[in-house]
């Protein structure tokens, strides 16, 4: 392989089966029209006198939203213990005697009390890598340095060739540098927090909040889990202090496509909970609104263990509709690989989309010893990951006080004095890196089809030294992809797989993961969406294909959000706000089941898919496994 095609360096400047009801959740939602308002959640009244818990009384794990210090004091007064503060929610998680749970609802400022998702740490999760970065991080000064860390955004953008691409000019746009300018990347995830690196004007635009937290102003759009922000940073993060042409300076945080725009479509709550119907609705919204902010890429670090083929699955049909509408869909392959051979999760298993696995640098600078990340789902002989991208001990933006941050202090980076960064491993991170690479290609040639983008990324990928079918075409080389594109006419590449009909069942698509109604512990299952509305598969599939599943603020004829999506973005430091009125839940609010650390594909937020399972030392172990 010649020097121009090598990757390093390029140079350049829970629980599995238990469905937990959440009957303690307080807060009624007015039913009816789109203008209905969410009933007051803050209920006054002083808590009753403390009573000693009965001897031997069971302690239950809870998450308390709101109440701050008053809630913490009440937990201890009732004989419980505070295990962590969740500053994003002004709340906490801890344990309290079962007889005192309802008393917490009477503490001033408390909005809700829910059972804590008893998610167990996975082998792979958040935290510092143990294979070399510790020594690398303390070279020279004894403090962390991005250019001495194999998982830093600086190193990733260098080894994938993105830094070389940034130095190239776009002849179709006044010779502007190729940094992703003008390309919108839809992030269907747990929201995005306004942290440094994502606060420049126009960097993040809020689409709808379709999560269970959409009715509360303090959590609407915001990432209380920590996963979506980590992804956004890798895709398009850029520190405010970066001067023009200074993106490749290791002292700044810069993602793969630093001038691309993130369109934030929040579907996951602060504990990762989400129903597949919400994810499908989010994808449909992106298709309907793709021309706003030029949405050309959709990043999805979510996956289910669907029990039906992609040819029928609604989630597969939704991503195919986006693909045919000109949107490059990048999906994490899944993080169950350490448990043995596993098929790709849905919708990564769909043959049209770009399914991304992780490469593991093994803590060295040399590309010759790189391997497929052990956590990556291997796929089957009929469907493997399309390519790999860095996914081991990846450093991106931290959300202080988020669930991942509180539960996984090991995700903090030793010697990183600003405390802005957090480390996680998984195919979620790898997918985010590829999404940024796709944005660079689409700036260079906006006429590229999704098939052509996929073809370029695969054709330019670098094979690992060790043969492994799970690597697909090899490891991402975006510099090679741009150079291949610049050789002349874009290569002809058209996929001819059979299309998904989308006429399968929602229940099979859920793959065994459910949410429940906190009012009566009813499980959301069968052929109905999160509103309890009957699912008409064929009718929805036709509308999804046509890009008309959303009309104004309604999806499938149901008012999910306000009709005026403003083009507002975040202003520095503060939220500029948007005109979305929030999801109008019809009559009831579905709460999450224990999200089992599975549905998001990030490193499970370590090993498996999404959620806040645990950042166990190497990846996210939650659902998107950070």
What is the predicted pLDDT for the residue at 478? 98
Report how far residue 53's alpha carbon sits from residue 51's, in angstroms, rounded to the nearest whole number: 6
Q: Three-state DSSP class for 506?
A: helix
Domains recognised in the chain with CATH numbers: 22-115 (3.30.70)
Per-residue confidence (pLDDT) for residue 308, from 0 to 100: 97
H-helix or E-strand containing 298? strand 295-300
As beta bridge partners, residue 554 has: 551, 559
Q: What is the pLDDT of residue 332?
A: 96
d(CA 437, CA 394): 16
Nearest Cα residue to 626 out of 595, 117, 613 = 613
User: What is residue 576's predicted lDDT score, i.e. its pLDDT?
Assistant: 25
Phi and psi of 434, rounded to 5°? -70, -35
Distance CA 214, CA 208 (A): 9
| In 511-615, beta strands by DSSP E | 550-551, 554-555, 558-559
* Per-block mean pLDDT, blocks of 10 residues, the chain (626 long): 36 32 27 22 29 67 82 90 73 84 86 53 39 41 83 97 96 91 97 96 93 83 94 98 95 98 94 88 95 95 93 97 98 92 95 97 89 95 97 96 90 91 95 99 97 97 95 97 90 92 96 74 84 89 92 78 35 25 26 30 28 26 28
Backbone torsion region of residue 330, taken as left when φ is above 0, otherwise alpha when ψ lies between -120 and 50, otherwise beta: beta
Pairing relation of β-strands 59-66 and 91-97?
Answer: antiparallel
- The Cα–Cα gap between 425 and 515 comes to 27
The Cα 382–Cα 297 span in angstroms is 25
Q: What is the pLDDT of residue 89?
A: 65
What DSSP string runs through 123-188? Answer: SS-SS--SSSHHHHHTTTTSS--GGG-TTSHHHHHHHTTHHHHHTSEETTTTTEESS-TT-EEEEE
Helix axes 537-546, 314-324, angle to 10 degrees: 20
Q: What is the pLDDT of residue 53?
A: 58
How many Cβ atoms from other residues are within 10 Å of residue 53's Cβ? 17
C-alpha–C-alpha distance, residues 324 and 203, integer Å: 26
Token duo for residue 87? 């500053």
């Amino acid at each position: 392989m010649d020097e121009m095609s090598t990757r390093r360096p390029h140079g350049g400047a829970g629980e599995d089966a238990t469905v937990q009801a959440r009957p303690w959740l307080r807060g009624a939602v007015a039913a009816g029209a789109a203008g209905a308002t969410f009933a007051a959640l803050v209920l006054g009244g002083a808590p009753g006198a403390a009573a000693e818990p009965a001897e031997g009384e069971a302690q239950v794990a809870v998450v308390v939203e709101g109440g701050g210090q008053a809630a913490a004091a009440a937990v201890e007064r009732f004989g419980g213990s505070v295990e962590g503060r969740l500053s994003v929610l002004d709340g906490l998680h801890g344990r309290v005697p079962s007889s005192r749970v309802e008393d917490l609802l009477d503490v001033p400022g408390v909005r809700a009390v829910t059972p804590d998702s008893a998610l167990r740490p996975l082998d792979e999760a958040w935290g510092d890598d143990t294979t070399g970065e510790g020594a690398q991080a303390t070279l020279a000064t004894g403090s962390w340095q991005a250019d001495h860390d194999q998982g830093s955004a600086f190193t990733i953008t260098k080894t994938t060739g993105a830094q070389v691409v940034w130095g190239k000019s776009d002849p179709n746009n006044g010779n502007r540098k190729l940094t992703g300018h003008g390309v919108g990347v839809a992030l269907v995830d747990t929201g995005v927090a306004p942290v440094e690196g994502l606060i420049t004007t126009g960097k993040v635009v809020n689409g709808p909040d379709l999560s269970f937290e959409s009715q509360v102003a303090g959590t609407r759009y915001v990432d209380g889990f920590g996963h979506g922000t980590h992804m956004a940073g890798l895709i398009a993060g850029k520190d405010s202090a970066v001067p023009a042409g200074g993106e490749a300076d290791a002292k700044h945080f810069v993602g793969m496509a630093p001038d691309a725009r993130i369109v934030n479509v929040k579907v996951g709550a602060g504990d990762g909970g989400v129903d597949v119907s919400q994810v499908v609705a989010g994808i449909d919204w992106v298709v309907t609104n793709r021309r706003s902010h030029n949405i050309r890429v959709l990043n999805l670090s979510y996956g289910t263990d669907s029990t039906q083929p992609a040819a029928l699955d609604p989630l597969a049909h939704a991503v195919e509709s986006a693909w045919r509408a000109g949107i490059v869909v990048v999906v994490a392959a899944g993080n169950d690989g350490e448990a043995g051979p596993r098929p790709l999760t849905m919708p990564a298993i769909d043959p049209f989309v770009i399914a991304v696995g992780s490469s593991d640098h093994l803590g060295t600078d040399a590309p010759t010893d790189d391997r497929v990340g052990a956590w990556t789902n291997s796929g089957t002989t009929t469907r493997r990951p399309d390519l790999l991208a860095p996914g081991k001990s990846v450093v991106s933006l931290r959300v202080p006080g988020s669930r991942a941050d509180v539960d996984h202090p090991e995700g903090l980076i030793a010697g990183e004095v600003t405390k802005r960064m957090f480390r996680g491993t998984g195919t979620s991170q790898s997918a985010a890196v590829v999404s940024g690479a796709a944005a660079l290609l689409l700036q260079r040639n906006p006429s590229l089809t999704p098939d052509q983008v996929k073809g370029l990324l695969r054709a330019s990928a670098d094979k690992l030294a060790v043969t492994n079918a799970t690597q697909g075409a090899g490891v991402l080389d975006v510099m090679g992809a741009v150079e291949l594109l610049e050789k002349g006419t874009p290569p002809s590449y058209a996929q001819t797989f059979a299309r998904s009909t989308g006429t399968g069942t929602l229940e099979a698509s859920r793959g065994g993961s459910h949410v429940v109604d906190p009012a009566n512990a009813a499980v959301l299952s069968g052929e109905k969406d999160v509103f309890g509305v009957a699912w008409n598969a064929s009718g929805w599939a036709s509308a999804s294909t046509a890009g008309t599943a959303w009309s104004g603020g309604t999806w499938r004829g149901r008012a999910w959000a306000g009709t005026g999506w403003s083009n507002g973005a975040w202003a520095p430091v503060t939220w500029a706000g948007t005109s979305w009125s929030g999801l109008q839940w019809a009559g009831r609010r579905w709460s999450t089941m224990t999200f089992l650390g599975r549905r998001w594909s990030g490193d499970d937020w370590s090993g498996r898919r999404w959620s806040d399972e645990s950042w166990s030392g190497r990846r996210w172990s939650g659902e998107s496994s950070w």
